[in-house]
Amino acid sequence: MGKILPNKQNNNSNSLSVAARRRQREREERYQTILKAAETLFSRDGYHQTSINQIAELAEVSVGTVYFYFKNKEDLLIQLLDEISYLLRKMVGAEFRKTEASLDGFMRAGKVFFSDFCRLHPEKVTIMYRESVGQSPLVSEHIKKIQDKIGSDIIDALERVAENTGQGFPGEKTAEIISTSILGIYDYIASKYLFSGDYAVDIDTVGDDAVNFLIGGIQHLCNLESNK
């Protein structure tokens, strides 16, 4: 995931010389090192308070090297958002697929957001739900595209559960409305409980309550039953 690196070869890596493969690997590692430095600083100090010079210093590269891989700081944020959203979709999707498209799988996938993604990757959560808010129109449009992809994943999962249980949706837009509601609730919970500074909050408990509420609504609306 992430953008194609400058001068990256399109040929199969097996056809490259040892030296060329090493250079390609070094470019990819440098790209990831810069991204990680930006993630650390954006989440700790804030996007607007972080400079390219600071990112270069933390990544232990020159400022010119940062600009070789990224057009500007905005480009860094956009690439970070792509990497983060890819990881989130991968984690949630893998959990859903474990249960062969059941409602329980849908529930477990929802809880993974809180128990695994939020708990294990707080810096990524901060970038996605705090530092990307209120940025330029370009960043806002990119966030919308990411939300559309995640929303489409949710709709596909709901349709697979409905098909697997032999149930349908009461309306043409029901799955889309459920998906939009889930995105809105998760966004609000992330903003309210993860960035409130209240360290007494148990994010797993918050996540369980939110997911159980959503699952209850889905069951009532679509007449879907859990396997439990």
- 149 and 211, same domain (yes or no): yes
Residue 213's CATH number? 1.10.357.10
Checking if the pLDDT of 178 tops 70, the result is: yes
Q: Give the pLDDT confidence score for residue 199 in this predicted structure.
A: 54
Residue 200 tokens, joined? 């007494």
- 207 and 131, same domain (yes or no): yes
For 219-224, what is the mean pLDDT?
Answer: 80
Q: Which residues contact 101 (CB under 8 A, 6 or more apart)?
A: 157, 160, 161, 163, 164
- 123 and 186, same domain (yes or no): yes
Report yes or no on 111 lying in a domain: yes
Report yes or no on 7 lying in a domain: no
Report yes or no on 2 lying in a domain: no
Checking if the pLDDT of 109 tops 80, the result is: yes
Instruction: Report how many domains make up the chain.
Output: 2
Checking if the pLDDT of 10 tops 60, the result is: no
Range of the domain at 52: 14-70
- 48 and 157, same domain (yes or no): no
Last residue within a domain, chosen from 40, 55, 70? 70
Instruction: Note the pTM of the prediction, 2 decimals.
Output: 0.84
Report yes or no on 106 lying in a domain: yes
